[in-house]
Amino acid sequence: MGSMKHNVKKLPLFLTQKDVENLTRNIRKDKHKLGLLLMSYGGLRVSEMCSLKISDIHLQRGFMKIHGKGGKERIVPLNATLQKMIESYLSKYSYHLNPESYLIGGARNSWHYVVKKYAEQNLGRTDIHCHTLRHSFATTLYEEGVQIERISQLLGHSKLDTTMVYAHISLEQKRDAV
């Protein structure tokens, strides 16, 4: 009967900027807050965030070097929120960090738990995952008129097709708004 539906790709969920602010607002654990911001404002995969080292962060020049899938490296600019948060985090914890230390580290699955916990606590939602934060980053960029090729670079996608889904999300939203 409803066989038409099968080829429709489910669009990834994402949070608006306001949602991200609410999600991260009253997180007391600095490490947790920074982790969520790195995924939301840097578009990092959870694995990339866990393996991010102090030496990958270039505060003076406002970017971080990400070691992505398949050994690919990319440069991701730090937005103002992220820049401030990393600066204060480092000034607080740098006494036990060296250039080869992980900025945050942690196990991937524990981060999934962290995101679920705060999403439920601060947004009352149970459908938010680490990857949702990455999608939110991409969708926001797309809506701000950033070229899809550029978003693709920032996310470290090897194929543009992977990034094109964000154009579809945005379209769906506009359709809902009408």
Spatial separation of the C-alpha atoms in residues 174 and 93, rounded to whole Å: 43
Tokens for 123, please give them.
């947004």
Tell me if the pTM is above 0.85: yes
The catalytic site residues sit at: 45, 69, 131, 134, 157, 166
> What does the DSSP 8-state code read for residue 103?
S
Contact 76, 63 (CB under 8 A): yes
pLDDT band at 11; cut points 50, 70, 90: low
Residue 5: what pLDDT?
45
Residue 176 pLDDT > 90, yes or no?
A: no
H helix runs in the chain, sequence order: 17-24, 30-42, 46-50, 80-93, 108-118, 130-143, 148-155, 160-177
Give the pLDDT confidence of 89-146 residue by residue, as tens digits.
Answer: 999 998 889 999 999 999 888 999 999 999 999 999 999 999 999 999 999 999 899 9
Residue 9 pLDDT > 70, yes or no?
A: no
